[in-house]
Structure formats: C-alpha cells, structure tokens
C-alpha cells in the first residue's frame, strides 16, 4: 500500500511539485486530483523542461494568424485562405508497436488540424531507424510504413513526403514524426476555447476505453487504493498502446467540418495526450471559465471504469465541442448522419472568485451533473501553471576531441565511384505505399526536394496559389554543433522550398532529444533552439508551432540531437509544374551558390553522409552564412517561381545540394533523368561529398542568359559541365554508366529491407 506521500512520486510528480499543488488548492489534493496533475504536469503535456528555452524563438509576422500554443499554427496564405500546420512525434508508441504507434500518430495530428476548422490536406512523415542490417529495424520500418499507409490512405488524407534516415543511434529508439497541413476559409478559423456559461461540452467520436492511460502502469505498480476507486486498477487492466480506427476518424472529420460549416460549434478541441482532462482544462483555461464534467456521461467501452481512467484515457478518434444548448438537436442530427457518437459530458460554468477577488475557472469532475464533486481544481493550474525548469546544461567535455577528429583531411580509401553508389537510395518503396494524390492537388509528390500542392480543397475559395512543404533534419550536423546544425537545417528547408519556387513563410519544429536530466542533452536542446532562432531571424521566418520529444534514450545512451524542421511556403501563381531533376541533352550544368563553405574548412566532411558511412562521426561543420544564403535562396526561388507561373525560362532542372553533397545531387539527377553528364574536376573528395546548404545544381538551355541573371542578382555561379552521353563523369574522380546509377538507386532500399520482389 502506498501512502499519499509516495503516490505523487509514483505519478511522476516531484516533492516540490506536490507542494506546489497543495499551495494551489490550499489543501491536500485527493487521489483523483493528484492524478490529473500527474498527467497534465508531465513533460509531454507541460513542456516544463523546454518552455523557458522555446520562448527565445521568433513567433510573429504580419501573416501569422495563430502562433505556438494552440492546436496548430495558422498563416494567411492569401485569397481568403488560411493554412494550418503542425508537427508531432509518436516515437515511443512506435517503438513498442510500430503499426499502431505510427497509425495513431497520423490520427492525432489530423485532429489537431481539423480542430482549427481546417480540412487536413496533406501529411508528411520524417522517420528515423537503426541500420537495416538489423532484422528488428526492418520489422520496425515495415510496421511503421504500413501503419502510416493503412491509416492515412483510409482516412483520406494524402501523404506527400517525409524523410528516411538510418543511423545506429535510433536502433533502440526510432523516431516517428508526423506533420500535417490543412486549409480553411479564413473566416472559419476556430479555437479551442470554452465560452458562454450554460453552454455544453459535447464529446464526439469513439467511446472511451482503457487504452493509452498515461502513467497507469506507474499507478498500477504503486498499487495504491483510495476512495476514488483506483483500487480497481490492476495488472489485468494494464493499458496498451492506443489503437487507431481510421474509419471512425474519417467520419469524425466530416462531421466536425460540417458542424463548423453550419455554425453549430463555438469552440472545439481534440483529445490527445492526457485525454479528457487535457481537453476540458485547456478549453476552460483559454476561456477563463469553469467547467463541470460528468464522468458518468462519458460513453465507455469497458465496464467499471473509474473516474481517473475516464479522465485520462487516450482513446483515439475523440473531439470535444463547445455548443449552445439550443443547438444540441441540430448537432445530434448531424452527428447521427455521419454515425458519430455525440454526448453532453460537460457544462460551462461561472468562474469563482478567489480570496483576492480574481475570477478562477474551476474544473469540477462530478459523479452526475448534480452529483458528488470528485475533483475541484483551477483549470488554469492544470493547463498552464506547471512549474518551469531551467535544468542544468553543460557542453559535453568530450566534444572537443570529437570535433578534432575531422575526416575532412583524411586520405580517402577506395574509389569515389563506389562512395557515390553507396550513398544513393531511392525511398520509393516507402512512398509508393502512401496515397500521395488525393484531392487532385499534388503537383510535386514524395521523393523530391519539397512537396508542392495546389492551394485547393473542398469548401475553399478559388485560388491559383500553391503551398510547398518540406521536412529537414541533420542529426549528424547537430551532434557536432547543435546550434549551427539546426540553423543549417532551417536553411536546407528553405533551399528545398526554393526548388519548387516557393517562398518560405513559416516554420514548425519537432525537437527530438534525449534525457533532459542529462546536462549535455539540455545543452544540446538550448543550443539547437538558439540556432533555430538565429536562422529564422536571418531568413525572416516565424516559428508557429512545435513539439518537444524528450527521453529518446535507451540504456543510458541518448539519440543524436534531432530537431526536425518543417517548412511551409507559398507559390503565388501555380499553373505549371516546376522543372524537377531531369535535364535535356546539351544543357549546361551549374552550381548556384558559394563554392566554398564559410568556416574552418572550405569543403567540410564532418557530419557528412560520406564520413558517417566510413564510421567517422567527428569533425567540424560549416558555419551558418546568412550573407550568401539569402540572395542565393531568393534567386533560385524567383527563377523557379517564374516557371510555376507559366513563364518562359531556360532553366530545365534544379536540385539542392544536401545529403551526399554535389556528387549525391548529380547522382540523383542522373537517376531521375536517365541521362549522362560530364562535369569538370572538383577538388577531390571534399568538394564532391561535402554537405552545406544554400547550393543548388541547376541545368540551363541558355548558359549566357542564366549567368547574366545570376550576376545581376549578385549570386555566385560555377559552371560545372554539360549534359551529354550515357555516363556520369566528374573529372578524373567519378566515371559511372547511367544505367548502373539508376539500378543501384532504385534497388538499394528494397535490397536492404530484403523485400521479396
């Protein structure tokens, strides 16, 4: 039997936090109340270790309609259309049960988007696994990909891109991030706010079960008993990873959007982490009102659920809508059409006055609306007032030795031909399993620099604009220098958007880091946030949302810092596709952007894929060179935007230089176009394989005209060679038949996965 004193620890609350709760309430919390604080003050819900640092990010801009802190960030994309975007992680569930973990990750992020009144239009999935030579990793990849495919395709939202990274640091802790974008007529924007005393809180969607109950495993092991009935939690009812039902979610999406179209909803909030307690306390806190919740009114999937379970269950496919009582019949009828359950579970009530005369909205959990009060706590204290921590930070003492072990000056062994072939992997096996075309918007789908969509969808005003999306991360850079590595990741995202003619408008981020109790991890997180802030300020980008995933560690070993940067861009006029990776015979090939990196090494190989493949994880990376980046990014964006708008252009191909460096980019373009190219001698391995963003390979059918425009824009251009023949030749270092590149890139992933073809 646990005493109340040890119960709070079992719920993940520190002794100080327990003291804070007693101060808030002015009394001892009962077990149910303590459990509510346990989930709401968890790292997952409260961002208590990261929030202090996140405040350093720039979050505003004239086009930002909703910034961080809401369910999704929203920008004004023009033509009366607002675009909502969010990114999240579903790392830990996916490690345990890859199919359901990934599937429910998709389901959760969709709800964050249609909560804002937006129809979800596209999903992207950055995925990180260990090396595929390990059978468990192959199992994880197949499970995660089929989970995304199974849920996303069925729910009817196209998956238009992502990332696929293999590195041993993810072997025990894979990362499954998911980004979703949606669009809405600007005037339909709704927020998760409870308002209007007497209004109803209606729970929509699935019944509530015991799945995914936060911390219950802890509770169960604590084996406590109490008057709130938690005694009944035993091993036989241990929670499982949440199970997704895309058919339920599809009907829920349609019902919610129809409710919003008909003006029947005043505020709406999805149920995600921490379930009903999170949704009710957050909506009440934002509206500065109180809310009564009747636990007996919540439809339950399993018998004998106790209030604690009902309030914290993470059962999927549920939403909480705030409606006026007179609209209840209309809401019920519309939900019945879509076969969506709708139950009044809460009522908005007047705030109470505290001792100092301040209005305080109380969340009251009741046994029947007029029944016994089981819990009575200030909603704001749950939602917003978790303690913030400035955890100890320390630059790892081992880092200097790592930086000194620089592969850049190594005498390369083996041939550049083999090195290049080794780097080429086509992710098509993954994205072929995703519906990437639904809604007839996909101009550039998965597998390219960035995805490009028409800005259109059911119920949206007419527009000829496009939106572009990319997700970028480079944990190898960030392991060496989290600040500069993150800044460069932002730059790479902007470069990807430039390749489809889109001007970057907003950033979202998913910060995947290790254990925040390790000072080195907190240092990485803090540095990474500073790097993101620096890049966003330099490139005029607001950060409009994010997610922090900590505790990505196993056996005491943290993952490499993995900030994933999601970029949202806009193309003002999209009537023709951007050129892509395929060039024409006789076209000139140029490198746009600086030839040499700013920093210690002109062609740094630290953190490059080339070095990592050779087991070299040390060295220095390039600096963040805002001065040369901006004009280069602007120039390429404008060159491609002209083509998207239907204009004439001599540009026939564009690809940003990223993983695998110039050699990797050329290899991918050769594979895409099945045509050869002859390039001048580059400065050995460094220039071939060095990775720093802000450089592009472009092809032009009129070199003189292109050079003139570049010069007028003050952008550096190096003429590399000419597109001809059936071989990829780079000076005396690379000479490969096109066919060999095509086949190697096409088959690499399926061969590694041992897929039977």
Partner 1 sequence: MNRVGVVVFPGSNCEYDAVLAMETLGTTAELVWHSVTDLSGYDGIILPGGFAHGDYLRPGALARFSPVMDAVRSFANDGGPVLGICNGFQVLTEAGLLPGALQKNIGLTFLCQPTTLVVTSQRSVLTSGAQIDQELVVPINHFSGSYTCDDETYQGLRDNDQIVLRYKSNPNGSRDDIAGIANERGNVVGLMPHPERAMSTLLGSADGRVLLESFVAAHVAA
By annotation, the residues acting in catalysis are: 44, 90
Among 359, 440, 517, 705, binds partner 1 (CB under 8 A): 440
Nearer to partner 1, 445 or 566 (CB): 445
Q: Which of residues 551-580 bind partner 1 (CB under 8 A)?
A: 574-577
Burial readout 327-336 (b: 16 or more C-beta within 10 A, e: otherwise): beeebeebbe
Q: Which of 392, 432, 627, 739 binds partner 1 (CB under 8 A)?
A: 432
Decide whether 20 or 317 has the Cβ nearer to partner 1: 317
Provide Rg for the chain, Cα atoms.
27
Q: What residues from 137 to 156 belong to the interface with partner 1 (CB under 8 A)?
A: 146, 149-150, 153-156
CA–CA distance, 274 with 42 (Å, rounded to integer): 9
Distance (Å) of CA 578 to CA 124, 439, 704? 20, 20, 21
The residues, any chain, with a CB within 8 Å of residue 648's CB and separated by 6 or more, are 642
The binding track of 447-476 with respect to partner 1, each residue x by CB under 8 A or -, is -------x--xx------------------
Comparing CB distances to partner 1, the nearer of 53 and 119 is 119
Site for partner 1 (CB under 8 A): which residue of 49, 137, 436, 512? 436
How many residues interact with partner 1 (rule CB under 8 A)?
A: 36
Question: Residues 151-190 vs partner 1: string with x where CB under 8 A?
Answer: --xxxx----------------------------------
Which residues are CB-contacts of 33 (< 8 A; sequence separation ≥ 6)?
21, 25, 375, 376, 377
Q: Residue 476 and residue 608: Cα distance in Å, rounded?
A: 7
- Under the binding rule (CB under 8 A), the answer on residue 442 touching partner 1 is yes
Shortest Cβ distance from residue 88 to partner 1 (Å)?
22
- CA–CA separation, 196 vs 349, rounded Å? 8
Tokens for 96? 């345990």
Local structure of 656: helix, strand or coil: strand
Which residue stretch of 200-208, 213-221, 246-254, 629-637 sits at the interface with partner 1 (rule: CB under 8 A)?
Answer: 246-254
Among 16, 227, 262, 339, binds partner 1 (CB under 8 A): 339
**Which burial class, exposed, middle or buried, applies to 168 when counting CB atoms under 10 A from its CB (0-12, 13-18, 19+)?**
middle
How far apart are CB 270 and partner 1 at their closest, in Å?
A: 20
Q: How many CB atoms lie within 10 A of CB 78?
A: 15
The CB-of-136 to partner 1 minimum distance in angstroms stands at 20
Structure tokens at 744: 């190697």
Nearer of residues 115 and 153 to partner 1, judged by Cβ: 153
Stretch of residues binding partner 1 (CB under 8 A), selected from 440-448, 555-563, 584-592, 676-684: 440-448
Give residues 274-293 in contact with partner 1 (rule: CB under 8 A). Answer: none
Given candidates 439, 513, 523, 706, which one binds partner 1 under the rule CB under 8 A? 439
- Please identify which residue in the block is written with the tokens 């799945």: 211
Instruction: Please give the Cα distance from 573 to 130 (Å, whole number).
Output: 41
Q: Which one of 330, 402, 438, 678 is in contact with partner 1 (CB under 8 A)? A: 438
Q: How far is the CB of 120 from partner 1 (least distance, A)?
A: 11
Q: Which is nearer to partner 1, 149 or 658 (CB)?
A: 149
Both tokens of 148, joined, read: 């995304």
The reply on whether position 613 binds partner 1 by CB under 8 A is no
Instruction: State yes or no: residue 337 binds partner 1 (CB under 8 A).
Output: yes
User: Is 128 or 439 the residue whose CB approaches partner 1 more closely?
Assistant: 439
Cross-strand pairs, 34: none
- 245 near partner 1 (CB under 8 A): yes
CA dist., res. 114 & res. 116, Å (int): 5
As measured in angstroms, the least distance from the Cβ of 573 to partner 1 is 12
Cβ proximity to partner 1, 445 vs 531, nearer residue: 445
Please report the beta strands in 557-691, taking only residues with DSSP state E, as ranges in sequence order: 557-558, 562-571, 588-592, 651-656, 677-679
- Among 14, 437, 674, 708, interactor with partner 1 by CB under 8 A: 437
Q: For residue 185, what are its two tokens?
A: 């007529």
Q: Are 243 and 27 in contact (CB under 8 A)?
A: no
**Residue 247, interface with partner 1 (CB under 8 A)?**
yes
What is the spatial distance between Cα 666 and Cα 754, in angstroms, rounded to a whole number? Answer: 27
Three-state DSSP state, 40? helix
Q: Should residue 31 be labelled a site residue for partner 1 when binding is judged by CB under 8 A?
A: no
Give the helix/strand (H/E) hosting 413: none
Min separation Cβ 248 and partner 1, Å: 8
- Residue 251 is a binding residue for partner 1 (CB under 8 A): yes
For position 645 contacting partner 1 by CB under 8 A, the verdict is no
Q: For partner 1, give the closer residue by CB, 219 or 644.
A: 644
> Could you say whether residue 652 binds partner 1 (CB under 8 A)?
no
Written as one string, the DSSP assignment of 114-147 is: HTTTPEEEEEEEEEEE--TTSHHHHHHHHHHHHH
Q: Is 753 in the site for partner 1 (CB under 8 A)?
A: no
Give the number of residues written for the chain.
757
Work out the number of other CB atoms within 10 angstroms of the CB of residue 297: 17
Query: Nearest approach, Cβ of 165 to partner 1 (angstroms)?
Result: 21
HEC secondary structure over 529-585: HHHHHHHHHHCCCCEEEEEEECCCEECCEECCCEEEEEEEEEECCCCCCCCCCCCCC
Contact 467, 180 (CB under 8 A): no
- Residue placing its CB nearer to partner 1 in the complex, 153 or 208: 153
To partner 1, the closest distance from the beta carbon of 104 in angstroms equals 16
CB of 90 or CB of 454, closer to partner 1: 454
How near is the Cβ of 686 to partner 1 at its closest, in Å? 38
Phi/psi at 232 (nearest 5 deg)?
-75, -10
**How far is it, in rounded angstroms, from Cα 591 to Cα 336?**
59
Spatial neighbors of 399 by CB under 8 A, at least 6 apart, are 480
We find the least distance from the C-beta atom of residue 647 to partner 1, in angstroms, to be 15
Binding of partner 1 at residue 655 (CB under 8 A)? no
Q: Which of 9, 92, 207, 250 binds partner 1 (CB under 8 A)?
A: 250
Question: What is the 8-class DSSP label of residue 278?
Answer: H
Using the rule CB under 8 A, give the single segment among 164-172, 244-252, 360-368, 615-623 that binds partner 1. Answer: 244-252
Closest separation in Å from C-beta 340 to partner 1: 9
Choose one: 240-248, 302-310, 483-491, 693-701; the region binding partner 1 (CB under 8 A).
240-248
* Residues 436, 159: Cα–Cα separation, whole Å: 5
Q: Should residue 267 be labelled a site residue for partner 1 when binding is judged by CB under 8 A?
A: no
Cα–Cα distance, 87 to 672 (Å, whole number): 30
> How far is it, in rounded angstroms, from Cα 509 to Cα 532?
9
Q: Work out whether 316 is an interface residue with partner 1 (CB under 8 A).
A: no
Q: Rank residues 150 and 619 by Cβ distance to partner 1 and give the closer one.
A: 150
The stretch among 29-37, 247-255, 317-325, 673-681 that binds partner 1 (CB under 8 A) is 247-255
Which of residues 164, 297, 338, 515 is near partner 1 by CB under 8 A?
A: 338
* Dist. CA 457–CA 142, nearest whole Å: 31
CB 752 to partner 1: min, Å = 16
The Cα 171–Cα 129 span in angstroms is 6
Structure tokens at 517: 């109790």
Closer by beta carbon to partner 1, 258 or else 703 = 258
Quick count: other Cβ atoms within 10 Å of Cβ 713?
16
Q: Nearest approach, Cβ of 427 to partner 1 (angstroms)? A: 13
Residue of the chain from 125, 406, 435, 481 that contacts partner 1 (CB under 8 A):
435
Instruction: By CB under 8 A, name the binding residues for partner 1.
Output: 146, 149-150, 153-156, 245-247, 250-251, 337-339, 431-443, 454, 457-458, 574-577, 757
């Amino acid at each position: 039997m646990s005493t109340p004193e040890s119960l709070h620890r079992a719920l993940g609350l520190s002794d100080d936090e327990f003291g804070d709760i007693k101060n808030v309430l002015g009394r001892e919390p009962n077990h149910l109340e303590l459990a509510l604080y346990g989930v709401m003050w968890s790292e997952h819900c409260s961002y208590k270790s990261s929030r202090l640092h996140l405040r350093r990010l720039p979050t505003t801009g004239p086009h930002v309609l909703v910034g961080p802190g809401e369910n999704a960030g929203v920008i004004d994309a023009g033509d009366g259309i607002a675009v909502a975007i969010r990114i999240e992680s579903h790392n830990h569930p996916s490690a345990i049960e890859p199919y359901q973990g990934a599937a429910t990750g998709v389901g959760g992020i969709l709800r964050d988007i249609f909560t804002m009144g937006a129809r979800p239009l596209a999903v992207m999935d950055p995925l990180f696994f260990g090396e595929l030579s390990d059978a468990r990793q192959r199992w994880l990849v197949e499970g995660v990909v089929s989970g995304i495919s199974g849920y996303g395709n069925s729910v009817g939202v196209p998956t238009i891109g992502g990332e696929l990274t293999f590195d041993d640091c993810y072997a025990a802790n894979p990362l499954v991030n998911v980004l979703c974008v949606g669009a809405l007529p600007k005037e339909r924007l709704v927020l998760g706010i409870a308002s209007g005393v007497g209004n109803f809180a209606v729970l929509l969607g699935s019944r509530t079960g015991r799945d995914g109950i936060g911390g219950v495993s802890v509770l169960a092991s604590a084996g406590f008993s109490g008057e709130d009935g938690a005694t009944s939690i035993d091993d036989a009812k241990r929670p499982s990873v949440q199970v997704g039902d895309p058919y339920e979610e599809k009907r829920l999406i349609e019902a919610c959007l129809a409710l919003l179209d008909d003006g029947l909803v005043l505020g709406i909030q999805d149920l995600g982490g921490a379930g009903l307690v999170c949704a009710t306390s957050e909506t009440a806190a934002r509206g500065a009102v109180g809310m009564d919740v009747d636990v007996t009114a919540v439809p339950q999937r399993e018998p004998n659920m106790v209030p604690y379970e009902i309030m914290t269950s993470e059962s999927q496919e549920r939403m909480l809508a705030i409606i006026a009582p007179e609209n209840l019949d209309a809401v019920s009828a519309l939900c019945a059409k879509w076969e969506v359950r709708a139950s009044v579970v809460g009522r908005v009530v007047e705030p109470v006055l505290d001792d100092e005369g301040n209005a305080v909205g109380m969340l009251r959990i009741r046994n029947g609306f007029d029944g016994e009060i089981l819990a009575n706590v200030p909603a704001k204290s749950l939602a917003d007032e978790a303690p913030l921590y400035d955890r100890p930070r320390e630059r790892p003492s081992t880092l200097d030795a790592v930086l000194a072990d620089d592969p850049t000056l190594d005498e390369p062994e083996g041939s550049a031909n083999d090195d290049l072939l080794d780097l080429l992997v086509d992710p098509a096996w993954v994205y072929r399993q995703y519906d990437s075309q639904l809604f007839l918007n996909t101009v550039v789908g998965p597998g390219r620099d960035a995805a490009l969509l028409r800005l259109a969808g059911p119920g949206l005003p007419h527009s000829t604009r496009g939106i572009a999306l990319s997700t970028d991360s480079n944990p190898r850079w960030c392991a060496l220098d989290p600040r500069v590595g993150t800044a460069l990741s932002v730059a790479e995202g902007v470069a990807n958007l430039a390749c489809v003619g889109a001007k970057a408008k907003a950033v979202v981020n998913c910060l995947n880091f290790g254990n925040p109790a390790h000072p080195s991890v907190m240092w990485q997180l803090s540095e990474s946030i500073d790097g993101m802030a620096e890049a966003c300020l330099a490139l005029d980008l607001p950060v409009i949302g994010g997610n922090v995933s900590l505790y990505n560690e196993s056996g005491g070993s943290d993952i490499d810092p993995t900030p994933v940067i999601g970029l949202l861009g806009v193309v003002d006029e999209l009537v023709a596709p951007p050129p892509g990776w395929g060039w024409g015979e006789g076209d000139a090939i140029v490198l746009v952007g600086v030839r040499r990196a700013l920093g210690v090494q002109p062609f740094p190989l630290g953190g490059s894929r080339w070095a990592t493949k050779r087991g070299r994880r040390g060295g220095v990376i390039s600096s963040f060179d805002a001065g040369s980046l901006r004009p280069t990014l602007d120039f390429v964006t404008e060159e491609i935007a002209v083509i998207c708008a239907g204009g004439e252009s001599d540009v026939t191909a564009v690809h940003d230089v990223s993983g695998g460096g110039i050699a990797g980019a050329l290899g991918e373009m050769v594979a895409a176009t099945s045509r050869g190219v002859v390039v001048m001698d580059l400065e050995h391995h460094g220039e071939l394989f060095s990775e720093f963003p802000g450089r592009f390979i472009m092809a032009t059918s009129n070199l003189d005209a292109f050079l003139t425009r570049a010069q007028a824009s003050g952008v550096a251009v190096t003429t590399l060679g000419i597109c001809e023949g059936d071989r990829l030749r780079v000076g005396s270092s690379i000479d490969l038949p096109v066919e060999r590149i095509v086949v190697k890139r096409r088959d690499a992933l399926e061969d590694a996965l041992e897929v039977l073809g």
